[in-house]
Homo-oligomer: A and B are copies of this chain.
Protein backbone atom coordinates (compact mmCIF):
# COMPACT_ATOMS: atom_id res chain seq x y z
CA UNK A 1 0.00 0.00 0.00
CA UNK A 2 1.20 3.50 -0.74
CA UNK A 3 1.42 6.20 1.87
CA UNK A 4 -1.85 7.51 3.21
CA UNK A 5 -3.63 10.12 1.16
CA UNK A 6 -4.32 13.32 3.12
CA UNK A 7 -5.63 16.78 2.37
CA UNK A 8 -8.08 17.97 -0.26
CA UNK A 9 -9.09 15.39 -2.86
CA UNK A 10 -11.91 16.78 -5.01
CA UNK A 11 -14.33 14.30 -6.61
CA UNK A 12 -14.12 15.55 -10.18
CA UNK A 13 -17.26 15.90 -12.27
CA UNK A 14 -17.24 14.48 -15.79
CA UNK A 15 -17.79 17.18 -18.44
CA UNK A 16 -19.82 16.05 -21.43
CA UNK A 17 -20.27 17.35 -24.94
CA UNK A 18 -23.77 18.14 -26.14
CA UNK A 19 -23.77 14.64 -27.63
CA UNK A 20 -23.06 13.10 -24.25
CA UNK A 21 -19.46 12.16 -24.92
CA UNK A 22 -16.55 12.97 -22.61
CA UNK A 23 -15.49 16.56 -23.34
CA UNK A 24 -11.72 16.18 -23.09
CA UNK A 25 -10.71 19.84 -23.41
CA UNK A 26 -13.18 20.84 -20.67
CA UNK A 27 -12.00 17.95 -18.53
CA UNK A 28 -8.38 19.07 -18.89
CA UNK A 29 -9.22 22.68 -18.03
CA UNK A 30 -11.01 21.44 -14.93
CA UNK A 31 -8.08 19.26 -13.87
CA UNK A 32 -5.59 22.02 -14.61
CA UNK A 33 -7.50 24.43 -12.38
CA UNK A 34 -7.49 21.87 -9.56
CA UNK A 35 -3.77 21.23 -9.81
CA UNK A 36 -3.02 24.96 -9.86
CA UNK A 37 -5.09 25.40 -6.73
CA UNK A 38 -2.84 22.92 -4.98
CA UNK A 39 -5.14 19.99 -4.30
CA UNK A 40 -3.61 16.90 -2.73
CA UNK A 41 -5.26 14.30 -4.93
CA UNK A 42 -8.06 13.81 -7.44
CA UNK A 43 -10.98 11.39 -7.27
CA UNK A 44 -12.32 10.38 -10.69
CA UNK A 45 -15.54 8.45 -11.28
CA UNK A 46 -17.01 9.16 -7.89
CA UNK A 47 -20.73 9.71 -7.42
CA UNK A 48 -20.22 13.30 -8.61
CA UNK A 49 -18.13 11.92 -11.45
CA UNK A 50 -21.29 10.23 -12.72
CA UNK A 51 -19.84 6.76 -12.36
CA UNK A 52 -23.33 5.26 -12.14
CA UNK A 53 -24.26 6.81 -15.49
CA UNK A 54 -21.09 5.75 -17.28
CA UNK A 55 -20.84 2.53 -19.20
CA UNK A 56 -17.55 0.68 -19.27
CA UNK A 57 -16.29 2.50 -22.35
CA UNK A 58 -16.97 5.91 -20.81
CA UNK A 59 -15.33 4.89 -17.55
CA UNK A 60 -12.23 3.85 -19.41
CA UNK A 61 -12.08 7.14 -21.34
CA UNK A 62 -12.35 9.18 -18.14
CA UNK A 63 -9.56 7.32 -16.40
CA UNK A 64 -7.34 7.29 -19.46
CA UNK A 65 -7.70 11.02 -20.07
CA UNK A 66 -7.40 11.87 -16.38
CA UNK A 67 -4.36 9.77 -15.54
CA UNK A 68 -2.57 10.99 -18.65
CA UNK A 69 -3.24 14.64 -17.89
CA UNK A 70 -2.39 14.48 -14.19
CA UNK A 71 0.80 12.61 -15.01
CA UNK A 72 1.65 11.76 -11.47
CA UNK A 73 1.52 15.28 -10.05
CA UNK A 74 -0.94 14.08 -7.37
CA UNK A 75 -2.47 10.68 -6.62
CA UNK A 76 -5.49 9.71 -8.71
CA UNK A 77 -8.25 7.71 -7.03
CA UNK A 78 -10.79 5.91 -9.21
CA UNK A 79 -14.33 4.94 -8.31
CA UNK A 80 -14.98 1.26 -9.08
CA UNK A 81 -18.59 1.39 -8.14
CA UNK A 82 -20.97 -1.39 -9.07
CA UNK A 83 -23.60 -3.60 -7.54
CA UNK A 84 -21.68 -6.63 -6.27
CA UNK A 85 -18.18 -8.02 -5.90
CA UNK A 86 -17.51 -9.63 -9.27
CA UNK A 87 -18.67 -6.57 -11.15
CA UNK A 88 -16.54 -4.31 -8.94
CA UNK A 89 -13.52 -6.53 -9.50
CA UNK A 90 -13.82 -6.04 -13.25
CA UNK A 91 -13.66 -2.28 -12.66
CA UNK A 92 -10.67 -2.68 -10.33
CA UNK A 93 -8.78 -4.51 -13.08
CA UNK A 94 -9.69 -1.85 -15.62
CA UNK A 95 -8.64 0.98 -13.28
CA UNK A 96 -5.36 -0.67 -12.41
CA UNK A 97 -4.65 -1.05 -16.12
CA UNK A 98 -5.04 2.72 -16.46
CA UNK A 99 -2.49 3.35 -13.74
CA UNK A 100 -4.60 4.83 -10.97
CA UNK A 101 -3.11 5.14 -7.49
CA UNK A 102 -6.08 3.83 -5.51
CA UNK A 103 -9.63 2.60 -5.99
CA UNK A 104 -12.78 3.55 -4.12
CA UNK A 105 -15.55 1.00 -3.59
CA UNK A 106 -18.93 1.13 -1.89
CA UNK A 107 -20.80 -1.56 0.01
CA UNK A 108 -22.66 -3.94 -2.28
CA UNK A 109 -26.04 -2.68 -3.36
CA UNK A 110 -29.26 -3.64 -5.17
CA UNK A 111 -29.30 -6.94 -3.26
CA UNK A 112 -28.60 -6.44 0.42
CA UNK A 113 -27.18 -8.97 2.76
CA UNK A 114 -26.20 -7.78 6.21
CA UNK A 115 -22.89 -6.96 7.88
CA UNK A 116 -21.10 -10.26 7.18
CA UNK A 117 -21.80 -9.94 3.48
CA UNK A 118 -20.54 -6.34 3.43
CA UNK A 119 -17.37 -7.33 5.23
CA UNK A 120 -16.72 -10.26 2.89
CA UNK A 121 -17.11 -7.92 -0.07
CA UNK A 122 -14.37 -5.60 1.18
CA UNK A 123 -12.14 -8.51 2.17
CA UNK A 124 -12.29 -9.93 -1.34
CA UNK A 125 -11.63 -6.52 -2.88
CA UNK A 126 -8.76 -5.77 -0.52
CA UNK A 127 -7.11 -9.12 -1.18
CA UNK A 128 -7.51 -8.93 -4.95
CA UNK A 129 -6.53 -5.31 -5.58
CA UNK A 130 -2.98 -4.31 -6.30
CA UNK A 131 -3.61 -0.67 -5.44
CA UNK A 132 -4.99 0.58 -2.11
CA UNK A 133 -8.75 0.29 -1.61
CA UNK A 134 -10.78 3.07 -0.02
CA UNK A 135 -14.18 2.22 1.42
CA UNK A 136 -16.86 4.64 0.29
CA UNK A 137 -19.55 5.07 2.94
CA UNK A 138 -22.56 6.48 1.11
CA UNK A 139 -25.81 5.07 2.46
CA UNK A 140 -27.93 7.55 0.51
CA UNK A 141 -26.87 5.65 -2.63
CA UNK A 142 -26.31 2.09 -1.42
CA UNK A 143 -28.60 1.95 1.62
CA UNK A 144 -26.00 0.38 3.88
CA UNK A 145 -24.07 2.30 6.56
CA UNK A 146 -20.57 0.92 7.00
CA UNK A 147 -19.81 -0.16 10.54
CA UNK A 148 -16.90 1.66 12.16
CA UNK A 149 -15.50 -1.38 13.93
CA UNK A 150 -15.44 -3.33 10.68
CA UNK A 151 -13.66 -0.50 8.88
CA UNK A 152 -11.04 -0.31 11.60
CA UNK A 153 -10.42 -4.06 11.46
CA UNK A 154 -10.09 -3.99 7.68
CA UNK A 155 -7.67 -1.09 8.00
CA UNK A 156 -5.62 -2.78 10.71
CA UNK A 157 -5.28 -5.83 8.48
CA UNK A 158 -4.19 -3.70 5.55
CA UNK A 159 -7.21 -4.57 3.42
CA UNK A 160 -8.38 -0.97 3.10
CA UNK A 161 -6.33 2.21 3.24
CA UNK A 162 -9.03 4.62 4.25
CA UNK A 163 -12.62 5.73 4.18
CA UNK A 164 -14.44 8.30 2.13
CA UNK A 165 -17.29 9.24 4.42
CA UNK A 166 -20.41 10.60 2.77
CA UNK A 167 -22.72 9.06 5.34
CA UNK A 168 -23.98 12.26 6.89
CA UNK A 169 -23.52 10.60 10.25
CA UNK A 170 -21.10 12.92 12.00
CA UNK A 171 -21.55 11.09 15.30
CA UNK A 172 -20.38 7.79 13.82
CA UNK A 173 -17.53 9.66 12.10
CA UNK A 174 -16.32 11.07 15.43
CA UNK A 175 -16.43 7.63 17.03
CA UNK A 176 -14.49 6.19 14.09
CA UNK A 177 -11.90 8.97 14.22
CA UNK A 178 -11.37 8.44 17.95
CA UNK A 179 -10.99 4.69 17.53
CA UNK A 180 -8.70 5.10 14.51
CA UNK A 181 -6.38 7.41 16.45
CA UNK A 182 -6.19 4.98 19.36
CA UNK A 183 -5.38 2.13 16.96
CA UNK A 184 -2.41 3.99 15.48
CA UNK A 185 -4.30 5.58 12.60
CA UNK A 186 -4.37 2.71 10.10
CA UNK A 187 -7.06 4.52 8.13
CA UNK A 188 -7.04 7.76 6.22
CA UNK A 189 -10.42 9.33 7.00
CA UNK A 190 -11.75 11.69 4.34
CA UNK A 191 -15.03 13.55 4.69
CA UNK A 192 -17.31 14.11 1.74
CA UNK A 193 -19.51 16.72 3.43
CA UNK A 194 -18.38 19.96 1.86
CA UNK A 195 -20.56 22.15 4.08
CA UNK A 196 -19.11 21.01 7.40
CA UNK A 197 -15.49 20.14 6.70
CA UNK A 198 -14.46 22.28 9.67
CA UNK A 199 -16.44 20.04 11.99
CA UNK A 200 -14.88 16.96 10.40
CA UNK A 201 -11.41 18.40 10.96
CA UNK A 202 -12.40 19.02 14.60
CA UNK A 203 -13.34 15.34 14.69
CA UNK A 204 -9.94 14.33 13.32
CA UNK A 205 -10.49 13.92 9.57
CA UNK A 206 -7.35 13.42 7.48
CA UNK A 207 -8.78 15.31 4.57
CA UNK A 208 -11.84 16.11 2.52
CA UNK A 209 -13.44 15.07 -0.76
CA UNK A 210 -15.70 18.06 -1.40
CA UNK A 211 -17.82 18.07 -4.54
CA UNK A 212 -18.03 21.85 -4.27
CA UNK A 213 -14.25 22.00 -4.80
CA UNK A 214 -15.00 21.46 -8.48
CA UNK A 215 -16.24 25.03 -8.39
CA UNK A 216 -13.96 26.49 -5.72
CA UNK A 217 -10.82 24.49 -4.97
CA UNK A 218 -8.74 27.31 -3.43
CA UNK A 219 -10.84 27.89 -0.29
CA UNK A 220 -10.70 24.17 0.52
CA UNK A 221 -6.93 24.14 0.02
CA UNK A 222 -6.55 27.24 2.22
CA UNK A 223 -8.82 25.65 4.81
CA UNK A 224 -6.73 22.48 4.91
CA UNK A 225 -3.52 24.45 5.30
CA UNK A 226 -5.06 26.58 8.04
CA UNK A 227 -6.06 23.38 9.83
CA UNK A 228 -2.51 22.07 9.55
CA UNK A 229 -1.30 25.36 11.00
CA UNK A 230 -3.82 25.26 13.88
CA UNK A 231 -5.62 28.40 12.72
CA UNK A 232 -9.18 27.39 13.55
CA UNK A 233 -10.66 30.82 12.94
CA UNK A 234 -9.44 30.63 9.34
CA UNK A 235 -10.76 27.08 9.02
CA UNK A 236 -14.16 28.33 10.13
CA UNK A 237 -14.10 31.46 7.97
CA UNK A 238 -13.35 29.50 4.81
CA UNK A 239 -16.13 27.10 5.71
CA UNK A 240 -18.67 29.85 6.16
CA UNK A 241 -17.75 31.18 2.74
CA UNK A 242 -18.09 27.73 1.22
CA UNK A 243 -21.39 27.03 2.98
CA UNK A 244 -22.78 30.18 1.41
CA UNK A 245 -21.45 29.14 -1.99
CA UNK A 246 -22.99 25.68 -1.58
CA UNK A 247 -26.39 27.33 -1.92
CA UNK A 248 -25.97 26.79 -5.67
CA UNK A 249 -27.45 23.36 -5.01
CA UNK A 250 -30.42 24.67 -2.99
CA UNK A 251 -31.54 27.82 -4.85
CA UNK A 252 -32.87 25.93 -7.84
CA UNK A 253 -36.52 24.92 -8.15
CA UNK A 254 -38.33 21.95 -9.63
CA UNK A 255 -35.31 19.68 -9.65
CA UNK A 256 -34.03 17.17 -7.13
CA UNK A 257 -31.35 14.60 -6.51
CA UNK A 258 -28.51 14.26 -8.95
CA UNK A 259 -29.85 16.84 -11.40
CA UNK A 260 -29.89 19.43 -8.62
CA UNK A 261 -26.52 18.58 -7.10
CA UNK A 262 -24.09 17.76 -9.87
CA UNK A 263 -26.30 19.80 -12.19
CA UNK A 264 -25.46 22.89 -10.14
CA UNK A 265 -21.73 22.13 -10.12
CA UNK A 266 -21.70 21.77 -13.90
CA UNK A 267 -23.76 24.91 -14.38
CA UNK A 268 -21.46 26.92 -12.15
CA UNK A 269 -18.39 25.62 -13.97
CA UNK A 270 -19.92 26.59 -17.29
CA UNK A 271 -20.73 30.07 -15.98
CA UNK A 272 -17.13 30.35 -14.78
CA UNK A 273 -15.88 29.40 -18.22
CA UNK A 274 -14.18 26.20 -17.07
CA UNK A 275 -16.31 23.72 -19.02
CA UNK A 276 -18.19 24.20 -22.26
CA UNK A 277 -21.68 23.00 -21.41
CA UNK A 278 -23.64 21.90 -18.38
CA UNK A 279 -24.77 18.78 -20.25
CA UNK A 280 -25.99 16.00 -17.95
CA UNK A 281 -26.01 12.26 -18.59
CA UNK A 282 -29.26 10.55 -19.58
CA UNK A 283 -31.72 10.37 -17.83
CA UNK A 284 -30.78 13.46 -15.80
CA UNK A 285 -31.47 16.88 -17.28
CA UNK A 286 -29.32 20.00 -17.44
CA UNK A 287 -30.44 23.04 -15.46
CA UNK A 288 -31.71 25.90 -17.56
CA UNK A 289 -33.43 29.27 -17.58
CA UNK A 290 -34.23 30.77 -14.22
CA UNK A 291 -32.28 28.07 -12.38
CA UNK A 292 -29.10 29.10 -14.18
CA UNK A 293 -29.75 32.72 -13.20
CA UNK A 294 -30.18 31.75 -9.55
CA UNK A 295 -26.83 29.96 -9.58
CA UNK A 296 -25.18 32.92 -11.25
CA UNK A 297 -26.52 35.15 -8.47
CA UNK A 298 -24.91 32.96 -5.82
CA UNK A 299 -21.61 33.02 -7.72
CA UNK A 300 -21.77 36.83 -7.83
CA UNK A 301 -22.44 37.04 -4.09
CA UNK A 302 -19.38 34.83 -3.63
CA UNK A 303 -17.42 37.19 -5.89
CA UNK A 304 -16.61 34.41 -8.32
CA UNK A 305 -18.52 36.16 -11.09
CA UNK A 306 -18.48 39.89 -11.80
CA UNK A 307 -21.67 41.72 -10.91
Contacts and interface: CB of A to CB of B under 8 A. Distances in A.
Interface of A: 47, 50, 52-56, 58, 81-87, 89-90, 108-114, 116-118, 120-121, 124, 141-143, 168-171, 174-175, 178, 193, 195-196, 198-200, 202-203, 230, 232-233, 235-236, 239-240, 243-244, 246-247, 250, 255-259, 281-285
Given A86-B54, A114-B255, A233-B230, A170 B199 contact: yes
Per CB-CB distance, the 10 closest pairs between chain A and chain B, nearest first, are A199-B199, A232-B232, A120-B283, A52-B110, A52-B83, A121-B283, A111-B258, A113-B257, A53-B84, A198-B202
Interface residue SS majority, chain A: helix
A34 to B, nearest CB: 22
A88 B243 CA distance: 35
A53 B83 CA distance: 7
A235 B118 CA distance: 36
Contact of A243 (B117, B143, B175, B259): B175
Contacts of A87: 52-55
A119 to B, nearest CB: 8
9 contacts: A52-B83, A84-B282, A85-B281, A110-B141, A113-B283, A114-B255, A174-B196, A199-B199, A199-B200
Given A199-B202, A282-B86, A259 B52 contact: no
Nearest to A120: B283
B259 A117 contact: yes
A246 B56 CA distance: 39
A11 to B, nearest CB: 13
Contacts of A196: 170-171, 174, 199, 202-203
A86 B256 contact: no
Given A199-B196, A199-B203, A113 B284 contact: yes
A106 to B, nearest CB: 9
B250 A52 contact: no
Nearest to A232: B232
A116 B280 CA distance: 14
A270 to B, nearest CB: 20
A111 B198 contact: no
A198 B199 contact: yes
